[in-house]
Amino acid sequence: ITIAEGSALGKRFGVGTERIYEVLGYHILTARYGVTLMDILQEPFENVDFGGFTLQVSKPALEADFLINMPALKTHNQGILSLGMKNLKGCLSIKSRKYCHRPDHSLDHYLSLFVEKLKPALTVLDGIYGLEKGPFYMGKAVRMNALVASKDPLAVDAVGAALAGLDPSDVPHIKGYADRHSRSLDLDQWHFRGTPLEALRRPLKWDNRWREDNTGPRAWERMGIQGISIPKYDKTLCTGCSGLYSPVLVMVMSAHQGVPFNEIEILTGKAMTPSGKARSTVLLGNCMIKANRKDTSIREAVFVKGCPPTMDSIQEAMERCGIHPNMDFYKKHRSSLMERYEGKEGFDEGFFYIK
Ligand code: SF4
Protein backbone atom coordinates (compact mmCIF):
# COMPACT_ATOMS: atom_id res chain seq x y z
CA ILE A 1 0.00 0.00 0.00
CA THR A 2 1.28 3.43 -0.96
CA ILE A 3 -0.19 6.74 0.15
CA ALA A 4 0.61 9.41 -2.42
CA GLU A 5 0.18 13.17 -2.12
CA GLY A 6 1.55 16.04 -4.18
CA SER A 7 1.40 19.23 -2.16
CA ALA A 8 2.78 22.24 -4.05
CA LEU A 9 5.70 23.88 -2.30
CA GLY A 10 7.06 27.17 -3.59
CA LYS A 11 9.42 29.82 -2.33
CA ARG A 12 7.81 30.86 0.96
CA PHE A 13 4.55 29.32 -0.26
CA GLY A 14 2.78 26.09 0.66
CA VAL A 15 3.89 23.13 2.74
CA GLY A 16 5.78 20.14 1.32
CA THR A 17 4.26 16.67 1.36
CA GLU A 18 6.98 15.19 3.56
CA ARG A 19 6.33 17.83 6.22
CA ILE A 20 2.59 17.12 6.08
CA TYR A 21 3.19 13.38 6.59
CA GLU A 22 5.49 14.14 9.49
CA VAL A 23 3.15 16.54 11.29
CA LEU A 24 0.09 14.32 10.85
CA GLY A 25 1.98 11.23 12.04
CA TYR A 26 1.69 9.22 8.83
CA HIS A 27 5.04 7.54 9.58
CA ILE A 28 3.18 5.54 12.21
CA LEU A 29 1.39 3.84 9.31
CA THR A 30 4.75 2.84 7.87
CA ALA A 31 5.90 1.40 11.18
CA ARG A 32 2.60 -0.32 11.91
CA TYR A 33 1.52 -1.58 8.48
CA GLY A 34 4.52 -1.11 6.17
CA VAL A 35 2.75 1.62 4.19
CA THR A 36 4.96 3.52 1.73
CA LEU A 37 4.58 7.30 1.85
CA MET A 38 5.13 9.01 -1.47
CA ASP A 39 5.58 12.59 -2.56
CA ILE A 40 4.26 12.51 -6.11
CA LEU A 41 6.41 15.49 -7.05
CA GLN A 42 9.60 13.55 -6.24
CA GLU A 43 8.62 10.63 -8.46
CA PRO A 44 8.70 10.25 -12.28
CA PHE A 45 5.99 11.56 -14.57
CA GLU A 46 4.85 10.17 -17.88
CA ASN A 47 3.87 12.32 -20.85
CA VAL A 48 0.24 11.45 -21.51
CA ASP A 49 -1.55 12.45 -24.69
CA PHE A 50 -4.92 14.07 -23.99
CA GLY A 51 -5.76 14.53 -27.66
CA GLY A 52 -4.04 17.65 -28.94
CA PHE A 53 -1.94 18.32 -25.88
CA THR A 54 0.26 16.42 -23.47
CA LEU A 55 0.33 16.52 -19.69
CA GLN A 56 2.85 15.04 -17.28
CA VAL A 57 0.97 12.51 -15.13
CA SER A 58 2.40 10.68 -12.12
CA LYS A 59 3.88 7.36 -13.32
CA PRO A 60 3.27 5.52 -10.02
CA ALA A 61 -0.38 6.64 -10.08
CA LEU A 62 -0.80 5.49 -13.68
CA GLU A 63 0.81 2.14 -12.87
CA ALA A 64 -0.96 1.47 -9.54
CA ASP A 65 -2.60 -1.97 -9.31
CA PHE A 66 -5.65 -0.51 -7.61
CA LEU A 67 -5.89 3.27 -7.46
CA ILE A 68 -8.09 4.69 -4.71
CA ASN A 69 -8.85 8.37 -5.18
CA MET A 70 -9.54 10.05 -1.82
CA PRO A 71 -10.74 13.64 -2.26
CA ALA A 72 -12.02 15.93 0.47
CA LEU A 73 -15.34 17.68 -0.09
CA LYS A 74 -14.48 21.28 -0.93
CA THR A 75 -16.07 24.08 -2.81
CA HIS A 76 -13.75 25.79 -5.24
CA ASN A 77 -13.73 29.44 -6.26
CA GLN A 78 -12.93 28.56 -9.91
CA GLY A 79 -14.30 25.04 -10.46
CA ILE A 80 -17.33 25.39 -8.08
CA LEU A 81 -16.48 22.04 -6.46
CA SER A 82 -13.33 20.07 -5.85
CA LEU A 83 -14.31 16.40 -5.54
CA GLY A 84 -12.93 13.23 -7.15
CA MET A 85 -12.26 14.45 -10.70
CA LYS A 86 -10.64 17.67 -9.54
CA ASN A 87 -8.58 15.88 -6.88
CA LEU A 88 -6.73 13.96 -9.60
CA LYS A 89 -5.13 17.21 -10.77
CA GLY A 90 -2.76 16.58 -7.86
CA CYS A 91 -1.32 13.68 -9.89
CA LEU A 92 0.10 16.14 -12.44
CA SER A 93 3.50 17.79 -12.36
CA ILE A 94 3.47 21.43 -11.27
CA LYS A 95 4.16 22.48 -14.84
CA SER A 96 1.12 20.58 -16.10
CA ARG A 97 -1.08 21.86 -13.27
CA LYS A 98 -0.23 25.39 -14.37
CA TYR A 99 -0.90 24.48 -18.01
CA CYS A 100 -4.57 23.86 -17.11
CA HIS A 101 -5.07 27.55 -16.27
CA ARG A 102 -4.94 28.96 -19.76
CA PRO A 103 -6.15 32.23 -21.27
CA ASP A 104 -8.80 30.35 -23.24
CA HIS A 105 -10.46 29.62 -19.86
CA SER A 106 -10.69 25.87 -20.47
CA LEU A 107 -9.98 24.87 -16.85
CA ASP A 108 -13.33 23.08 -16.47
CA HIS A 109 -12.62 20.99 -19.55
CA TYR A 110 -9.24 19.89 -18.19
CA LEU A 111 -10.77 19.02 -14.81
CA SER A 112 -13.10 16.57 -16.54
CA LEU A 113 -10.27 14.71 -18.31
CA PHE A 114 -7.83 13.37 -15.68
CA VAL A 115 -10.21 10.63 -14.53
CA GLU A 116 -10.18 9.14 -18.03
CA LYS A 117 -6.44 8.51 -17.92
CA LEU A 118 -5.95 7.65 -14.25
CA LYS A 119 -9.08 5.46 -14.03
CA PRO A 120 -9.42 5.16 -10.24
CA ALA A 121 -10.76 1.74 -9.22
CA LEU A 122 -12.49 3.29 -6.23
CA THR A 123 -13.28 6.84 -5.15
CA VAL A 124 -13.85 7.65 -1.48
CA LEU A 125 -15.04 11.19 -0.83
CA ASP A 126 -14.27 12.50 2.63
CA GLY A 127 -17.13 14.78 3.51
CA ILE A 128 -16.70 14.58 7.27
CA TYR A 129 -16.06 18.29 6.86
CA GLY A 130 -17.09 20.28 3.82
CA LEU A 131 -15.23 23.47 2.96
CA GLU A 132 -17.38 26.48 2.17
CA LYS A 133 -15.87 29.24 -0.03
CA GLY A 134 -12.84 27.04 -0.70
CA PRO A 135 -10.42 25.81 -1.74
CA PHE A 136 -8.10 27.61 0.70
CA TYR A 137 -7.99 27.71 4.48
CA MET A 138 -9.74 31.09 4.40
CA GLY A 139 -12.92 29.13 3.62
CA LYS A 140 -15.11 27.81 6.39
CA ALA A 141 -15.11 24.16 7.46
CA VAL A 142 -18.61 22.80 8.00
CA ARG A 143 -19.17 19.50 9.81
CA MET A 144 -21.13 17.26 7.45
CA ASN A 145 -20.37 13.71 8.63
CA ALA A 146 -20.59 12.28 5.13
CA LEU A 147 -18.52 9.64 3.36
CA VAL A 148 -19.28 8.60 -0.19
CA ALA A 149 -17.66 5.59 -1.87
CA SER A 150 -18.18 4.07 -5.29
CA LYS A 151 -16.32 2.37 -8.11
CA ASP A 152 -18.03 4.90 -10.38
CA PRO A 153 -16.21 8.26 -10.12
CA LEU A 154 -19.11 10.11 -11.69
CA ALA A 155 -21.50 8.77 -9.04
CA VAL A 156 -19.26 10.07 -6.24
CA ASP A 157 -18.96 13.54 -7.76
CA ALA A 158 -22.66 13.78 -8.51
CA VAL A 159 -23.57 12.74 -4.96
CA GLY A 160 -20.87 15.04 -3.55
CA ALA A 161 -22.42 17.96 -5.43
CA ALA A 162 -25.86 17.07 -4.09
CA LEU A 163 -24.48 16.90 -0.55
CA ALA A 164 -23.16 20.44 -1.01
CA GLY A 165 -26.61 21.55 -2.13
CA LEU A 166 -25.72 21.85 -5.81
CA ASP A 167 -27.17 20.31 -8.92
CA PRO A 168 -24.27 18.30 -10.45
CA SER A 169 -25.24 19.54 -13.91
CA ASP A 170 -24.44 23.07 -12.71
CA VAL A 171 -20.81 22.08 -12.12
CA PRO A 172 -19.18 22.42 -15.57
CA HIS A 173 -16.46 19.78 -15.23
CA ILE A 174 -18.90 17.16 -13.88
CA LYS A 175 -21.38 17.98 -16.64
CA GLY A 176 -18.59 17.99 -19.24
CA TYR A 177 -17.53 14.47 -18.28
CA ALA A 178 -21.12 13.20 -18.18
CA ASP A 179 -21.92 14.69 -21.61
CA ARG A 180 -18.79 13.28 -23.20
CA HIS A 181 -19.68 9.80 -21.98
CA SER A 182 -23.42 10.15 -22.65
CA ARG A 183 -24.12 9.63 -18.94
CA SER A 184 -27.07 10.99 -17.02
CA LEU A 185 -26.60 12.95 -13.80
CA ASP A 186 -29.95 11.91 -12.41
CA LEU A 187 -29.26 10.68 -8.88
CA ASP A 188 -32.11 8.14 -9.08
CA GLN A 189 -30.00 5.93 -11.37
CA TRP A 190 -27.73 4.93 -8.47
CA HIS A 191 -28.52 2.54 -5.68
CA PHE A 192 -27.71 4.17 -2.33
CA ARG A 193 -26.79 2.38 0.86
CA GLY A 194 -26.39 3.94 4.28
CA THR A 195 -27.70 7.24 5.58
CA PRO A 196 -30.13 8.91 3.16
CA LEU A 197 -28.53 11.76 1.22
CA GLU A 198 -31.17 14.23 2.35
CA ALA A 199 -30.17 13.72 5.99
CA LEU A 200 -26.56 14.71 5.21
CA ARG A 201 -27.08 17.53 2.73
CA ARG A 202 -25.58 20.86 3.85
CA PRO A 203 -25.73 23.63 1.23
CA LEU A 204 -22.28 25.22 0.94
CA LYS A 205 -21.56 28.69 -0.43
CA TRP A 206 -18.81 28.62 -3.04
CA ASP A 207 -18.64 32.02 -4.75
CA ASN A 208 -17.22 35.35 -3.60
CA ARG A 209 -19.31 38.30 -4.68
CA TRP A 210 -17.67 41.29 -6.34
CA ARG A 211 -18.77 44.91 -6.77
CA GLU A 212 -20.96 45.62 -9.80
CA ASP A 213 -18.09 47.40 -11.57
CA ASN A 214 -15.72 44.48 -10.83
CA THR A 215 -13.31 46.64 -8.85
CA GLY A 216 -13.19 44.64 -5.64
CA PRO A 217 -15.19 42.37 -3.32
CA ARG A 218 -18.62 43.46 -2.11
CA ALA A 219 -17.21 43.89 1.40
CA TRP A 220 -15.17 46.84 0.11
CA GLU A 221 -18.41 48.60 -0.78
CA ARG A 222 -19.59 48.41 2.83
CA MET A 223 -16.19 49.66 4.00
CA GLY A 224 -16.23 52.57 1.53
CA ILE A 225 -12.96 51.54 -0.13
CA GLN A 226 -12.42 53.65 -3.25
CA GLY A 227 -9.60 54.53 -5.62
CA ILE A 228 -8.41 50.97 -6.09
CA SER A 229 -9.47 48.20 -8.41
CA ILE A 230 -8.74 44.50 -8.22
CA PRO A 231 -10.93 42.63 -10.69
CA LYS A 232 -12.32 39.27 -9.67
CA TYR A 233 -9.93 36.34 -10.21
CA ASP A 234 -10.52 34.35 -13.38
CA LYS A 235 -9.79 30.74 -14.28
CA THR A 236 -6.36 31.56 -15.70
CA LEU A 237 -5.03 32.08 -12.21
CA CYS A 238 -3.36 28.97 -10.86
CA THR A 239 -3.13 27.91 -7.22
CA GLY A 240 0.04 29.85 -6.42
CA CYS A 241 -1.41 33.27 -7.31
CA SER A 242 -4.98 32.32 -6.40
CA GLY A 243 -3.90 31.78 -2.80
CA LEU A 244 -2.62 35.37 -2.73
CA TYR A 245 -6.01 36.93 -3.42
CA SER A 246 -7.31 36.87 0.09
CA PRO A 247 -4.06 38.18 1.64
CA VAL A 248 -3.97 41.04 -0.92
CA LEU A 249 -7.58 42.00 -0.16
CA VAL A 250 -6.96 41.92 3.59
CA MET A 251 -3.78 44.00 3.19
CA VAL A 252 -5.71 46.65 1.25
CA MET A 253 -8.43 46.68 3.94
CA SER A 254 -5.80 47.07 6.65
CA ALA A 255 -4.30 50.04 4.82
CA HIS A 256 -7.63 51.81 4.34
CA GLN A 257 -7.82 55.01 6.39
CA GLY A 258 -11.19 56.24 5.13
CA VAL A 259 -9.77 58.18 2.18
CA PRO A 260 -9.65 56.98 -1.44
CA PHE A 261 -6.47 55.34 -2.70
CA ASN A 262 -4.57 56.96 -5.54
CA GLU A 263 -6.31 55.27 -8.52
CA ILE A 264 -4.49 51.97 -8.39
CA GLU A 265 -5.35 48.75 -10.18
CA ILE A 266 -4.01 45.30 -9.38
CA LEU A 267 -4.15 42.77 -12.22
CA THR A 268 -3.64 39.01 -11.94
CA GLY A 269 -3.64 35.80 -13.94
CA LYS A 270 -3.00 35.69 -17.68
CA ALA A 271 -5.99 37.37 -19.31
CA MET A 272 -6.71 40.68 -17.52
CA THR A 273 -6.03 43.91 -19.38
CA PRO A 274 -5.28 47.38 -17.99
CA SER A 275 -8.20 49.82 -17.77
CA GLY A 276 -6.11 52.69 -19.11
CA LYS A 277 -7.49 54.87 -16.28
CA ALA A 278 -5.27 53.95 -13.33
CA ARG A 279 -2.33 56.01 -12.15
CA SER A 280 -0.47 52.86 -11.17
CA THR A 281 -1.03 49.37 -12.52
CA VAL A 282 0.32 46.53 -10.43
CA LEU A 283 1.03 43.46 -12.57
CA LEU A 284 1.00 40.63 -10.06
CA GLY A 285 2.94 37.49 -11.04
CA ASN A 286 5.13 36.57 -13.99
CA CYS A 287 2.13 35.65 -16.18
CA MET A 288 0.50 39.08 -15.82
CA ILE A 289 3.81 40.84 -16.38
CA LYS A 290 4.36 38.85 -19.57
CA ALA A 291 0.80 39.58 -20.79
CA ASN A 292 0.84 43.35 -20.26
CA ARG A 293 4.36 44.63 -19.77
CA LYS A 294 4.34 46.39 -23.16
CA ASP A 295 0.81 47.82 -22.86
CA THR A 296 1.10 51.49 -23.72
CA SER A 297 -2.11 52.45 -21.87
CA ILE A 298 -0.38 51.82 -18.51
CA ARG A 299 0.76 55.09 -16.91
CA GLU A 300 2.99 53.58 -14.24
CA ALA A 301 3.60 49.81 -14.22
CA VAL A 302 4.60 48.13 -10.96
CA PHE A 303 5.90 44.62 -11.54
CA VAL A 304 5.54 41.99 -8.81
CA LYS A 305 7.73 39.24 -10.15
CA GLY A 306 7.46 35.63 -9.03
CA CYS A 307 5.59 32.46 -9.78
CA PRO A 308 3.90 33.06 -7.44
CA PRO A 309 5.29 36.32 -5.98
CA THR A 310 6.27 36.41 -2.32
CA MET A 311 4.24 38.33 0.28
CA ASP A 312 7.27 40.60 0.81
CA SER A 313 7.34 41.58 -2.86
CA ILE A 314 3.60 42.27 -2.81
CA GLN A 315 3.93 44.46 0.26
CA GLU A 316 6.82 46.32 -1.38
CA ALA A 317 4.73 46.95 -4.52
CA MET A 318 1.82 48.21 -2.43
CA GLU A 319 4.05 50.60 -0.52
CA ARG A 320 5.31 51.93 -3.85
CA CYS A 321 1.72 52.75 -4.79
CA GLY A 322 1.03 54.50 -1.48
CA ILE A 323 -0.84 51.55 0.09
CA HIS A 324 0.59 50.96 3.56
CA PRO A 325 -0.74 47.63 4.85
CA ASN A 326 -0.80 46.97 8.55
CA MET A 327 0.95 43.61 8.64
CA ASP A 328 0.06 43.04 12.31
CA PHE A 329 -3.61 43.29 11.34
CA TYR A 330 -2.97 40.84 8.51
CA LYS A 331 -1.19 38.35 10.79
CA LYS A 332 -3.95 38.59 13.40
CA HIS A 333 -6.50 37.97 10.68
CA ARG A 334 -4.61 34.81 9.61
CA SER A 335 -4.45 33.51 13.17
CA SER A 336 -8.12 34.22 13.70
CA LEU A 337 -8.96 31.96 10.76
CA MET A 338 -7.51 28.99 12.61
CA GLU A 339 -8.67 30.04 16.08
CA ARG A 340 -12.31 30.24 14.99
CA TYR A 341 -12.64 26.44 15.34
CA GLU A 342 -11.08 26.19 18.78
CA GLY A 343 -13.35 24.62 21.37
CA LYS A 344 -16.20 24.25 18.89
CA GLU A 345 -18.05 20.99 19.08
CA GLY A 346 -17.17 18.72 16.17
CA PHE A 347 -13.87 20.49 15.41
CA ASP A 348 -11.32 18.44 17.32
CA GLU A 349 -7.91 18.98 15.69
CA GLY A 350 -6.73 15.64 17.07
CA PHE A 351 -9.06 14.01 14.59
CA PHE A 352 -6.51 14.66 11.83
CA TYR A 353 -3.52 13.03 13.52
CA ILE A 354 -2.59 9.37 13.33
CA LYS A 355 -2.14 7.99 16.83
S1 SF4 B 1 2.64 33.65 -12.06
FE2 SF4 B 1 0.87 33.02 -10.87
S3 SF4 B 1 -0.71 32.55 -12.41
FE4 SF4 B 1 1.27 32.56 -13.47
S5 SF4 B 1 1.96 30.43 -13.46
FE6 SF4 B 1 2.88 31.47 -11.69
S7 SF4 B 1 1.48 31.06 -9.96
FE8 SF4 B 1 0.36 30.64 -11.88
Condensed to tens digits (0 to 9), the pLDDT of residues 137-168 reads 999 999 999 999 999 999 999 999 999 999 99
Condensed to tens digits (0 to 9), the pLDDT of residues 253-296 reads 999 999 999 999 999 999 999 999 999 999 999 999 999 999 99
Give me ligand 1 centre to Cα 261, in Å.
Answer: 26
Ligand 1 pocket (Cβ < 6 Å) reads 98, 237-238, 240-241, 269, 285-287, 307-308
Give me ligand 1 centre to Cα 135, in Å.
Answer: 17
Residues paired with 294 in a beta bridge: none
Give me ligand 1 centre to Cα 239, in Å.
Answer: 8
CATH topology of domain 218-337: Rossmann fold (3.40.50)
Q: Report which ligand 1 atom has the smallest distance to the Cα of 268.
A: 3
Q: Which residues of the chain fall below pLDDT 70?
A: 11-12
Closest of 87, 76, 173 to residue 131, by C-alpha? 76
Q: Report which ligand 1 atom has the smallest distance to the Cα of 286.
A: 1
Which of 105, 237, 266, 268 best tests ligand 1's pocket when mutated (most atoms within 8 Å of CB)?
237
Which of 78, 96, 102, 241 best tests ligand 1's pocket when mutated (most atoms within 8 Å of CB)?
241
Q: What are the residue boundaries of the structural domains of the chain, listed by start?
A: 44-206, 218-337
Give me ligand 1 centre to Cα 285, in Å.
Answer: 6
pLDDT of residue 77: 96
pLDDT of residue 12: 66
